Protein backbone atom coordinates (compact mmCIF):
# COMPACT_ATOMS: atom_id res chain seq x y z
CA UNK A 1 0.00 0.00 0.00
CA UNK A 2 2.83 2.38 0.89
CA UNK A 3 4.48 1.77 -2.47
CA UNK A 4 1.19 2.40 -4.30
CA UNK A 5 0.56 5.61 -2.36
CA UNK A 6 4.10 6.83 -3.08
CA UNK A 7 3.69 6.09 -6.79
CA UNK A 8 0.38 7.95 -6.88
CA UNK A 9 1.94 10.94 -5.11
CA UNK A 10 4.84 11.06 -7.57
CA UNK A 11 2.42 10.86 -10.51
CA UNK A 12 0.32 13.73 -9.19
CA UNK A 13 3.45 15.80 -8.48
CA UNK A 14 4.78 15.33 -12.01
CA UNK A 15 1.39 16.04 -13.56
CA UNK A 16 0.70 19.21 -11.58
CA UNK A 17 4.13 20.79 -11.37
CA UNK A 18 6.49 19.43 -14.00
CA UNK A 19 4.30 18.77 -17.06
CA UNK A 20 3.06 21.98 -18.76
CA UNK A 21 -0.68 22.35 -18.41
CA UNK A 22 -2.93 22.33 -21.46
CA UNK A 23 -3.97 25.93 -20.70
CA UNK A 24 -0.39 27.22 -20.76
CA UNK A 25 0.22 25.32 -23.98
CA UNK A 26 -2.95 26.84 -25.38
CA UNK A 27 -1.90 30.35 -24.36
CA UNK A 28 1.39 29.97 -26.22
CA UNK A 29 0.30 28.07 -29.31
CA UNK A 30 -3.45 28.67 -29.66
CA UNK A 31 -6.06 31.30 -28.88
CA UNK A 32 -9.82 31.52 -29.13
CA UNK A 33 -11.63 33.05 -32.10
CA UNK A 34 -15.08 34.41 -31.24
CA UNK A 35 -16.95 33.16 -34.30
CA UNK A 36 -20.37 34.25 -33.06
CA UNK A 37 -19.28 37.87 -32.48
CA UNK A 38 -17.69 38.20 -35.92
CA UNK A 39 -20.74 36.70 -37.64
CA UNK A 40 -22.93 39.15 -35.69
CA UNK A 41 -20.80 42.08 -36.95
CA UNK A 42 -21.12 40.76 -40.50
CA UNK A 43 -24.91 40.60 -40.26
CA UNK A 44 -25.13 44.05 -38.66
CA UNK A 45 -23.37 45.69 -41.62
CA UNK A 46 -26.65 45.56 -43.51
CA UNK A 47 -28.84 46.68 -40.63
CA UNK A 48 -30.48 50.06 -41.19
CA UNK A 49 -29.54 50.98 -37.63
CA UNK A 50 -25.89 50.55 -38.57
CA UNK A 51 -25.82 53.50 -40.95
CA UNK A 52 -24.28 56.64 -39.48
CA UNK A 53 -26.42 59.38 -40.96
CA UNK A 54 -24.30 62.11 -39.48
CA UNK A 55 -20.76 62.08 -38.18
CA UNK A 56 -19.57 64.90 -35.92
CA UNK A 57 -16.64 66.92 -37.16
CA UNK A 58 -15.21 67.11 -33.65
CA UNK A 59 -12.52 64.58 -32.86
CA UNK A 60 -13.09 61.24 -31.19
CA UNK A 61 -11.46 62.00 -27.86
CA UNK A 62 -8.47 60.01 -26.65
CA UNK A 63 -6.24 60.90 -23.74
CA UNK A 64 -3.49 62.55 -25.75
CA UNK A 65 -0.20 63.38 -24.02
CA UNK A 66 1.10 66.87 -24.76
CA UNK A 67 4.61 66.40 -26.14
CA UNK A 68 6.96 69.32 -26.43
CA UNK A 69 7.13 70.64 -29.98
CA UNK A 70 4.46 70.93 -32.66
CA UNK A 71 0.82 70.92 -31.50
CA UNK A 72 -1.17 67.70 -31.62
CA UNK A 73 -3.69 67.62 -34.48
CA UNK A 74 -6.39 64.97 -34.67
CA UNK A 75 -9.10 63.78 -37.05
CA UNK A 76 -11.96 61.34 -36.59
CA UNK A 77 -11.35 58.10 -38.46
CA UNK A 78 -14.25 55.94 -39.73
CA UNK A 79 -14.46 52.49 -41.35
CA UNK A 80 -16.19 52.58 -44.70
CA UNK A 81 -19.10 50.34 -43.65
CA UNK A 82 -20.27 52.88 -41.04
CA UNK A 83 -20.77 55.69 -43.55
CA UNK A 84 -23.97 56.60 -45.43
CA UNK A 85 -22.49 55.76 -48.85
CA UNK A 86 -21.18 52.33 -47.85
CA UNK A 87 -23.96 50.00 -48.99
CA UNK A 88 -23.62 49.25 -52.69
CA UNK A 89 -23.93 45.47 -52.33
CA UNK A 90 -26.80 43.13 -51.45
CA UNK A 91 -25.19 40.82 -48.90
CA UNK A 92 -21.96 40.10 -47.05
CA UNK A 93 -20.65 37.71 -49.69
CA UNK A 94 -20.92 40.35 -52.42
CA UNK A 95 -19.50 42.95 -50.01
CA UNK A 96 -16.43 40.78 -49.41
CA UNK A 97 -15.99 40.18 -53.14
CA UNK A 98 -16.22 43.94 -53.72
CA UNK A 99 -13.64 44.60 -51.01
CA UNK A 100 -11.27 42.00 -52.42
CA UNK A 101 -11.69 43.35 -55.96
CA UNK A 102 -10.75 46.82 -54.71
CA UNK A 103 -7.87 45.29 -52.81
CA UNK A 104 -6.48 43.44 -55.82
CA UNK A 105 -6.66 46.64 -57.87
CA UNK A 106 -4.89 48.46 -55.04
CA UNK A 107 -2.08 45.90 -54.81
CA UNK A 108 -1.66 45.82 -58.60
CA UNK A 109 -1.31 49.60 -58.50
CA UNK A 110 1.33 49.47 -55.75
CA UNK A 111 3.33 46.75 -57.47
CA UNK A 112 3.19 48.62 -60.80
CA UNK A 113 4.28 51.88 -59.19
CA UNK A 114 7.05 50.05 -57.34
CA UNK A 115 8.31 48.40 -60.52
CA UNK A 116 8.14 51.54 -62.66
CA UNK A 117 9.81 53.71 -60.02
CA UNK A 118 12.74 51.31 -59.79
CA UNK A 119 13.05 51.27 -63.57
CA UNK A 120 13.20 55.08 -63.62
CA UNK A 121 9.78 55.49 -65.24
CA UNK A 122 6.71 57.27 -63.94
CA UNK A 123 3.44 55.39 -63.36
CA UNK A 124 1.71 58.37 -65.03
CA UNK A 125 3.47 58.61 -68.39
CA UNK A 126 1.23 61.15 -70.09
CA UNK A 127 2.26 64.11 -72.19
CA UNK A 128 0.99 67.55 -71.08
CA UNK A 129 -1.50 67.54 -73.98
CA UNK A 130 -3.12 64.41 -72.60
CA UNK A 131 -4.16 66.31 -69.49
CA UNK A 132 -7.19 67.27 -71.58
CA UNK A 133 -8.35 63.70 -72.17
CA UNK A 134 -7.09 61.23 -69.57
CA UNK A 135 -7.58 57.49 -69.91
CA UNK A 136 -11.00 56.38 -68.66
CA UNK A 137 -11.25 53.66 -66.04
CA UNK A 138 -14.19 51.28 -66.17
CA UNK A 139 -13.85 50.39 -62.49
CA UNK A 140 -16.50 51.82 -60.16
CA UNK A 141 -16.40 49.58 -57.12
CA UNK A 142 -16.13 52.17 -54.36
CA UNK A 143 -13.24 53.60 -52.42
CA UNK A 144 -10.87 52.51 -49.70
CA UNK A 145 -11.79 51.15 -46.30
CA UNK A 146 -11.00 54.04 -43.90
CA UNK A 147 -11.96 57.71 -44.06
CA UNK A 148 -11.04 60.86 -42.17
CA UNK A 149 -13.34 63.87 -41.85
CA UNK A 150 -11.23 66.92 -42.67
CA UNK A 151 -11.89 70.60 -43.35
CA UNK A 152 -10.63 72.39 -46.46
CA UNK A 153 -10.72 76.14 -47.17
CA UNK A 154 -11.64 79.23 -45.20
CA UNK A 155 -14.35 79.05 -44.02
CA UNK A 156 -13.73 75.32 -43.67
CA UNK A 157 -15.94 72.84 -45.50
CA UNK A 158 -15.80 69.26 -44.18
CA UNK A 159 -15.20 66.26 -46.43
CA UNK A 160 -14.84 62.50 -46.14
CA UNK A 161 -11.36 61.67 -47.46
CA UNK A 162 -9.76 58.25 -47.95
CA UNK A 163 -6.59 57.93 -45.87
CA UNK A 164 -3.70 56.43 -47.81
CA UNK A 165 -0.25 55.82 -46.33
CA UNK A 166 0.92 54.63 -49.77
CA UNK A 167 0.36 57.97 -51.58
CA UNK A 168 1.82 61.46 -51.27
CA UNK A 169 -0.56 63.82 -53.07
CA UNK A 170 -3.72 64.91 -51.24
CA UNK A 171 -6.55 65.97 -53.53
CA UNK A 172 -10.31 66.45 -53.72
CA UNK A 173 -12.88 66.92 -56.45
CA UNK A 174 -13.41 70.57 -57.39
CA UNK A 175 -15.85 72.78 -59.20
CA UNK A 176 -16.15 73.25 -62.11
CA UNK A 177 -16.26 69.49 -62.50
CA UNK A 178 -15.73 68.18 -66.03
CA UNK A 179 -15.58 64.50 -65.01
CA UNK A 180 -16.47 63.59 -61.44
CA UNK A 181 -17.77 60.47 -59.71
CA UNK A 182 -20.54 60.63 -57.09
CA UNK A 183 -19.54 61.73 -53.60
CA UNK A 184 -21.45 62.19 -50.36
CA UNK A 185 -20.41 65.79 -49.61
CA UNK A 186 -20.99 68.76 -51.93
CA UNK A 187 -18.10 69.18 -54.36
CA UNK A 188 -15.52 71.70 -53.14
CA UNK A 189 -15.85 75.19 -54.63
CA UNK A 190 -12.43 76.90 -54.58
CA UNK A 191 -14.06 80.27 -55.34
CA UNK A 192 -15.78 80.09 -51.93
CA UNK A 193 -12.48 79.78 -50.02
CA UNK A 194 -10.69 83.00 -49.03
CA UNK A 195 -7.37 81.15 -48.67
CA UNK A 196 -7.34 79.17 -51.95
CA UNK A 197 -4.33 80.00 -54.14
CA UNK A 198 -3.23 78.38 -57.40
CA UNK A 199 0.38 77.18 -57.33
CA UNK A 200 2.70 78.76 -59.92
CA UNK A 201 4.67 76.62 -62.34
CA UNK A 202 8.03 77.66 -60.91
CA UNK A 203 7.09 76.90 -57.31
CA UNK A 204 8.78 74.17 -55.31
CA UNK A 205 5.47 72.35 -54.92
CA UNK A 206 4.94 72.19 -58.68
CA UNK A 207 8.46 71.01 -59.48
CA UNK A 208 8.12 68.26 -56.85
CA UNK A 209 5.23 66.66 -58.74
CA UNK A 210 5.95 63.49 -60.72
CA UNK A 211 3.70 64.65 -63.55
CA UNK A 212 2.87 68.31 -64.09
CA UNK A 213 2.10 70.83 -66.80
CA UNK A 214 1.71 74.58 -67.02
CA UNK A 215 -1.20 76.69 -68.21
CA UNK A 216 -0.93 80.51 -67.98
CA UNK A 217 1.56 80.05 -65.11
CA UNK A 218 -0.89 77.82 -63.23
CA UNK A 219 0.49 74.42 -62.19
CA UNK A 220 -1.51 71.40 -63.34
CA UNK A 221 -1.09 68.02 -61.65
CA UNK A 222 -1.98 64.47 -62.56
CA UNK A 223 -1.90 61.37 -60.39
CA UNK A 224 -2.57 57.92 -61.85
CA UNK A 225 -2.91 54.92 -59.56
CA UNK A 226 -1.88 52.24 -62.03
CA UNK A 227 -5.30 50.57 -62.22
CA UNK A 228 -6.79 53.23 -64.49
CA UNK A 229 -7.90 55.49 -61.62
CA UNK A 230 -6.69 59.08 -61.89
CA UNK A 231 -7.18 62.68 -60.83
CA UNK A 232 -6.26 65.73 -62.92
CA UNK A 233 -6.62 69.43 -62.15
CA UNK A 234 -5.03 72.52 -60.65
CA UNK A 235 -2.38 72.25 -57.97
CA UNK A 236 -3.15 74.80 -55.27
CA UNK A 237 -2.67 75.69 -51.62
CA UNK A 238 -5.40 76.15 -49.04
CA UNK A 239 -6.09 75.93 -45.33
CA UNK A 240 -6.61 72.43 -43.91
CA UNK A 241 -8.56 72.05 -40.64
CA UNK A 242 -8.24 69.14 -38.21
CA UNK A 243 -11.61 69.12 -36.47
CA UNK A 244 -11.45 71.34 -33.37
CA UNK A 245 -7.75 70.65 -32.77
CA UNK A 246 -6.34 73.26 -35.17
CA UNK A 247 -5.67 74.22 -38.77
CA UNK A 248 -2.65 74.65 -41.03
CA UNK A 249 -2.48 77.24 -43.85
CA UNK A 250 -0.89 76.90 -47.29
CA UNK A 251 -1.09 73.11 -47.66
CA UNK A 252 -0.60 72.03 -51.29
CA UNK A 253 -3.53 69.95 -52.55
CA UNK A 254 -4.85 68.82 -55.89
CA UNK A 255 -8.06 70.48 -57.02
CA UNK A 256 -9.37 67.77 -59.35
CA UNK A 257 -11.60 68.70 -62.29
CA UNK A 258 -11.23 65.29 -64.04
CA UNK A 259 -11.46 62.28 -61.71
CA UNK A 260 -12.22 58.62 -62.21
CA UNK A 261 -11.77 55.33 -60.38
CA UNK A 262 -11.88 53.67 -56.97
CA UNK A 263 -12.98 56.66 -54.91
CA UNK A 264 -16.81 56.67 -55.11
CA UNK A 265 -18.36 58.25 -52.03
CA UNK A 266 -15.24 60.04 -50.81
CA UNK A 267 -14.42 63.61 -51.80
CA UNK A 268 -10.80 62.70 -52.40
CA UNK A 269 -7.70 61.29 -50.76
CA UNK A 270 -5.29 62.21 -47.94
CA UNK A 271 -1.73 61.22 -48.81
CA UNK A 272 0.20 60.02 -45.73
CA UNK A 273 3.25 58.75 -47.60
CA UNK A 274 6.89 59.64 -47.08
CA UNK A 275 7.39 62.11 -49.95
CA UNK A 276 7.79 65.87 -49.67
CA UNK A 277 4.21 66.59 -50.80
CA UNK A 278 2.51 64.22 -48.35
CA UNK A 279 0.33 65.73 -45.63
CA UNK A 280 2.71 64.80 -42.75
CA UNK A 281 5.65 66.35 -44.63
CA UNK A 282 3.79 69.55 -45.48
CA UNK A 283 2.53 70.22 -41.95
CA UNK A 284 6.01 69.31 -40.65
CA UNK A 285 4.68 66.54 -38.43
CA UNK A 286 7.33 64.70 -36.44
CA UNK A 287 4.99 61.72 -36.15
CA UNK A 288 1.52 60.48 -36.98
CA UNK A 289 -0.56 57.55 -35.83
CA UNK A 290 -3.87 55.85 -36.44
CA UNK A 291 -5.90 52.99 -35.01
CA UNK A 292 -8.13 51.11 -37.44
CA UNK A 293 -11.29 49.77 -35.83
CA UNK A 294 -12.98 46.62 -37.11
CA UNK A 295 -14.15 47.52 -40.60
CA UNK A 296 -17.55 45.92 -39.97
CA UNK A 297 -18.22 48.06 -36.90
CA UNK A 298 -19.85 51.45 -36.37
CA UNK A 299 -17.02 52.60 -34.08
CA UNK A 300 -14.62 55.39 -34.92
CA UNK A 301 -11.09 56.20 -33.87
CA UNK A 302 -8.51 58.89 -34.60
CA UNK A 303 -5.80 59.88 -37.04
CA UNK A 304 -3.32 61.95 -35.04
CA UNK A 305 -0.30 64.09 -35.86
CA UNK A 306 2.45 64.90 -33.33
CA UNK A 307 0.86 62.94 -30.48
CA UNK A 308 3.08 60.93 -28.12
CA UNK A 309 3.09 57.21 -28.83
CA UNK A 310 1.61 54.84 -26.22
CA UNK A 311 4.20 53.74 -23.68
CA UNK A 312 3.54 50.05 -24.33
CA UNK A 313 4.36 50.24 -28.04
CA UNK A 314 6.46 47.51 -29.61
CA UNK A 315 9.01 49.35 -31.73
CA UNK A 316 10.17 48.27 -35.18
CA UNK A 317 12.66 50.01 -37.48
CA UNK A 318 11.18 52.44 -40.03
CA UNK A 319 13.43 51.77 -43.02
CA UNK A 320 14.25 53.90 -46.04
CA UNK A 321 14.42 52.95 -49.67
CA UNK A 322 16.54 55.57 -51.40
CA UNK A 323 14.80 54.87 -54.71
CA UNK A 324 11.19 55.14 -53.45
CA UNK A 325 10.29 57.84 -50.92
CA UNK A 326 6.52 57.31 -50.77
CA UNK A 327 6.24 53.93 -49.04
CA UNK A 328 6.84 53.29 -45.34
CA UNK A 329 9.13 50.26 -45.04
CA UNK A 330 9.25 48.30 -41.79
CA UNK A 331 11.96 45.97 -40.51
CA UNK A 332 9.98 42.71 -40.47
CA UNK A 333 12.31 39.74 -39.97
CA UNK A 334 10.01 36.76 -39.50
CA UNK A 335 6.54 35.36 -38.80
CA UNK A 336 5.60 32.98 -36.00
CA UNK A 337 2.73 30.49 -36.19
CA UNK A 338 1.70 28.52 -33.10
CA UNK A 339 4.53 30.10 -31.14
CA UNK A 340 7.17 28.78 -33.54
CA UNK A 341 9.07 30.69 -36.24
CA UNK A 342 8.12 29.77 -39.79
CA UNK A 343 11.20 28.63 -41.69
CA UNK A 344 12.30 30.91 -44.52
CA UNK A 345 15.29 33.13 -45.18
CA UNK A 346 15.03 36.60 -43.53
CA UNK A 347 16.63 37.97 -46.70
CA UNK A 348 13.24 37.56 -48.40
CA UNK A 349 12.05 40.58 -46.37
CA UNK A 350 15.12 42.75 -46.99
CA UNK A 351 15.39 45.74 -49.34
CA UNK A 352 17.90 44.83 -52.02
CA UNK A 353 20.64 47.05 -53.35
CA UNK A 354 18.53 47.58 -56.45
CA UNK A 355 15.63 48.84 -54.29
CA UNK A 356 13.52 45.74 -54.80
CA UNK A 357 12.02 43.66 -52.01
CA UNK A 358 11.31 44.85 -48.50
CA UNK A 359 8.08 45.11 -46.52
CA UNK A 360 5.82 48.16 -46.51
CA UNK A 361 2.98 48.89 -44.10
CA UNK A 362 -0.06 50.30 -45.86
CA UNK A 363 -3.41 51.61 -44.64
CA UNK A 364 -5.07 51.22 -48.04
CA UNK A 365 -4.28 47.55 -48.68
CA UNK A 366 -6.65 45.21 -46.82
CA UNK A 367 -5.07 41.75 -46.94
CA UNK A 368 -1.39 41.27 -46.10
CA UNK A 369 0.55 40.14 -49.17
CA UNK A 370 3.70 38.06 -48.75
CA UNK A 371 6.21 36.89 -51.30
CA UNK A 372 4.95 33.59 -52.68
CA UNK A 373 7.62 31.44 -51.04
CA UNK A 374 7.01 33.10 -47.66
CA UNK A 375 3.24 32.90 -47.96
CA UNK A 376 3.29 29.21 -48.83
CA UNK A 377 5.36 28.45 -45.73
CA UNK A 378 3.15 30.55 -43.43
CA UNK A 379 -0.06 29.09 -44.84
CA UNK A 380 1.21 25.51 -44.57
CA UNK A 381 2.32 26.09 -40.97
CA UNK A 382 -1.10 27.47 -40.07
CA UNK A 383 -3.02 24.72 -41.87
CA UNK A 384 -0.96 21.96 -40.23
CA UNK A 385 -1.87 23.30 -36.78
CA UNK A 386 -5.52 23.95 -37.70
CA UNK A 387 -6.35 20.39 -38.76
CA UNK A 388 -9.16 20.22 -36.18
CA UNK A 389 -11.04 22.95 -38.07
CA UNK A 390 -13.38 21.78 -40.87
CA UNK A 391 -11.71 22.84 -44.11
CA UNK A 392 -13.77 24.06 -47.05
CA UNK A 393 -13.21 25.47 -50.54
CA UNK A 394 -11.31 28.71 -51.18
CA UNK A 395 -12.86 32.12 -51.73
CA UNK A 396 -11.57 34.67 -54.25
CA UNK A 397 -7.86 35.23 -53.49
CA UNK A 398 -8.05 33.12 -50.29
CA UNK A 399 -6.99 29.47 -50.64
CA UNK A 400 -7.28 28.40 -46.97
CA UNK A 401 -10.84 28.53 -45.61
CA UNK A 402 -12.93 26.82 -42.93
CA UNK A 403 -16.62 26.15 -42.32
CA UNK A 404 -17.31 27.44 -38.79
CA UNK A 405 -21.07 27.70 -39.24
CA UNK A 406 -21.81 25.31 -36.38
CA UNK A 407 -19.38 26.81 -33.91
CA UNK A 408 -19.47 29.78 -31.54
CA UNK A 409 -15.82 29.80 -30.51
CA UNK A 410 -12.88 27.86 -31.91
CA UNK A 411 -9.24 27.36 -30.99
CA UNK A 412 -6.88 28.65 -33.67
CA UNK A 413 -3.08 28.76 -33.94
CA UNK A 414 -1.43 32.00 -32.84
CA UNK A 415 0.18 34.25 -35.46
CA UNK A 416 2.69 37.01 -34.74
CA UNK A 417 5.09 39.31 -36.57
CA UNK A 418 8.78 39.25 -35.63
CA UNK A 419 10.80 42.46 -35.91
CA UNK A 420 14.45 43.38 -35.40
CA UNK A 421 15.87 42.77 -31.95
CA UNK A 422 13.53 39.85 -31.30
CA UNK A 423 10.50 42.07 -30.74
CA UNK A 424 7.15 40.47 -31.47
CA UNK A 425 3.65 41.78 -32.21
CA UNK A 426 0.96 39.17 -31.61
CA UNK A 427 -2.11 39.34 -33.85
CA UNK A 428 -5.62 38.82 -32.57
CA UNK A 429 -7.46 35.86 -34.18
CA UNK A 430 -9.77 38.33 -35.96
CA UNK A 431 -6.69 39.83 -37.63
CA UNK A 432 -6.00 36.68 -39.62
CA UNK A 433 -9.12 34.50 -39.73
CA UNK A 434 -12.01 36.56 -41.10
CA UNK A 435 -15.60 35.94 -42.23
CA UNK A 436 -16.19 36.11 -45.97
CA UNK A 437 -19.95 35.55 -45.84
CA UNK A 438 -22.65 35.64 -43.15
CA UNK A 439 -23.03 31.85 -43.16
CA UNK A 440 -19.91 30.96 -41.20
CA UNK A 441 -17.19 30.66 -43.83
CA UNK A 442 -13.87 32.02 -42.51
CA UNK A 443 -10.60 32.37 -44.45
CA UNK A 444 -6.94 32.84 -43.57
CA UNK A 445 -6.46 36.52 -44.39
CA UNK A 446 -3.05 36.43 -46.05
CA UNK A 447 -2.22 36.04 -49.73
CA UNK A 448 0.81 35.49 -51.89
CA UNK A 449 2.26 37.80 -54.51
CA UNK A 450 4.50 37.03 -57.46
CA UNK A 451 6.58 40.15 -56.84
CA UNK A 452 9.39 40.80 -54.37
CA UNK A 453 7.54 43.42 -52.32
CA UNK A 454 5.53 42.36 -49.25
CA UNK A 455 2.71 44.51 -47.79
CA UNK A 456 1.26 44.52 -44.26
CA UNK A 457 -2.41 45.35 -44.81
CA UNK A 458 -5.13 46.93 -42.69
CA UNK A 459 -6.86 43.65 -41.68
CA UNK A 460 -3.73 42.77 -39.72
CA UNK A 461 -3.53 46.32 -38.28
CA UNK A 462 -7.10 46.48 -36.93
CA UNK A 463 -7.32 47.16 -33.19
CA UNK A 464 -3.70 48.34 -32.97
CA UNK A 465 -2.47 51.92 -32.81
CA UNK A 466 0.25 52.19 -35.43
CA UNK A 467 2.62 55.09 -34.72
CA UNK A 468 5.03 56.42 -37.34
CA UNK A 469 7.88 58.25 -35.60
CA UNK A 470 9.26 60.14 -38.59
CA UNK A 471 11.93 61.92 -36.56
CA UNK A 472 13.46 58.85 -34.91
CA UNK A 473 12.73 56.35 -37.71
CA UNK A 474 10.65 53.70 -36.05
CA UNK A 475 7.11 52.34 -36.17
CA UNK A 476 5.30 51.54 -32.92
CA UNK A 477 2.56 48.93 -32.50
CA UNK A 478 0.28 49.19 -29.47
CA UNK A 479 -2.75 46.85 -29.24
CA UNK A 480 -6.12 48.13 -28.02
CA UNK A 481 -5.30 51.84 -28.25
CA UNK A 482 -8.15 52.95 -30.51
Residues present in the chain in total: 482
d(Cα 286, Cα 289) in Å, to the nearest integer?
11
Annotated active-site residue in 238, 362, 437, 438: 362
179 is catalytic: no
Residue 403 is among the residues annotated as catalytic for this protein: no
* C-alpha distance across the termini of the chain, in Å: 62
Residues pairing with 414 in the sheet: none
Residue from 103, 164, 227, 437 carrying the catalytic annotation: 164
Q: Which residues are catalytic?
A: 164, 362
Amino acid sequence: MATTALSLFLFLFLFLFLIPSSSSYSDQHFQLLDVAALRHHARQVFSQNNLAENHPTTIHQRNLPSPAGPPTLSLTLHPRSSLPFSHTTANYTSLTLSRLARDEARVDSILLRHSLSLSGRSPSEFTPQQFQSPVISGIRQGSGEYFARIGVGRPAKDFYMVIDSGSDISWLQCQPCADCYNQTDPIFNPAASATYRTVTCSSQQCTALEVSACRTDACLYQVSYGDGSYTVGNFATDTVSFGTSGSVPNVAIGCGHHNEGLFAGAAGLLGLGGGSLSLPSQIKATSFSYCLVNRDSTSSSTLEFNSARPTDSVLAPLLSNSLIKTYHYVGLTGINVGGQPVRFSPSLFEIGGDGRGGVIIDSGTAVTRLRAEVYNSVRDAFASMAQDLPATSGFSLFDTCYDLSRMTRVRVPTVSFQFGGGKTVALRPSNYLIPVDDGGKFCFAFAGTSGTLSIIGNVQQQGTRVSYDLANKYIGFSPNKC
